[in-house]
């Protein structure tokens, strides 16, 4: 298989949209894109994502989990791996857990009404306003972490080791 870059197939003077499609599951079996660059590896399997909030009501992390995993609960200690620091387990206890994953289309059909543009804008503004000042500041903002569950991390390691 080969990949052709956007700059090779379009005129650089014309606008183009660079997109990447990352395959994470084939016929119910999780799969992984292998590469030397860890940031470009895919995270395998069907996933869902949660936003974790602290006691002050600020989101402090987004957490990816396998779709079949039970939802994390407020007040429950979670063992997680932060992307970019997968070598170490971190323990967190969210005060509030918000599921973020929504399915709007299934089998080519709309299964939930799409929000209007003003609703999307309001949702984005509210989400930004909830971020802590450390994440929102323009000068040297604190990076907002995204993490994976221990179970998702184990699946990633199993697939990576199985391919060698």
pLDDT 10s digits, 115-130: 999 999 999 999 999 9
The answer on pLDDT for 4 being more than 80 is: no
Tens digits of per-residue pLDDT, 24-54? 888 888 888 777 776 677 889 999 999 999 9
In a domain, 5, yes or no: no
65: CATH = 3.20.140.10
**What separation in angstroms does the CA of 16 have from each of 21, 38, 82, 154?**
16, 26, 32, 37
Single pTM value for the model = 0.81
Closest to 150 in 3D by CA, of 84, 101, 99, 86: 86
| Token representation of residue 152 | 């998702």
Tens digits of per-residue pLDDT, 78-99? 999 998 888 899 999 999 999 9
d(CA 47, CA 123): 22
Higher pLDDT, 42 or 63: 63
Half-sphere exposure (Cβ direction) of 36: Cα atoms closer than 13 Å: 0
Q: By residue range, what is the domain housing residue 64? A: 20-162
In a domain, 1, yes or no: no
Helix (H) or strand (E) holding 98: strand 96-99
In a domain, 82, yes or no: yes
Phi, psi of 118 (to 5 degrees): -60, -35
Cβ atoms 22, 33 nearer than 8 A: yes
In a domain, 49, yes or no: yes
Q: How many domains does the chain have?
A: 1
d(CA 142, CA 135): 5
In a domain, 53, yes or no: yes
Only one residue has tokens 């895919």, namely 42
């Amino acid at each position: 298989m080969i990949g052709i870059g956007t700059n090779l197939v379009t005129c650089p003077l014309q606008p183009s949209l660079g997109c990447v499609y990352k395959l994470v599951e084939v016929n119910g079996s999780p799969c992984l894109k292998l590469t030397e660059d860890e940031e470009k590896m895919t995270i395998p399997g069907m996933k869902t994502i949660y936003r974790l909030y602290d006691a002050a009501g600020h989101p402090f992390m987004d957490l990816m989990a396998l779709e079949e995993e039970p939802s994390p609960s407020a007040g429950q200690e979670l063992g997680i791996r932060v992307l970019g620091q997968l070598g170490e387990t971190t323990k967190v206890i969210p005060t509030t857990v918000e599921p973020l994953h929504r399915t709007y289309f299934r089998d080519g059909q709309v299964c939930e009404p799409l929000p209007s543009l003003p609703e999307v804008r309001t949702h984005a503004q509210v989400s930004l306003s909830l971020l802590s000042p450390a994440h929102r500041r323009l000068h040297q903002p604190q990076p907002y972490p995204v993490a994976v569950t221990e179970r998702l991390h184990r699946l990633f390691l199993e697939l990576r080791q199985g391919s060698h």
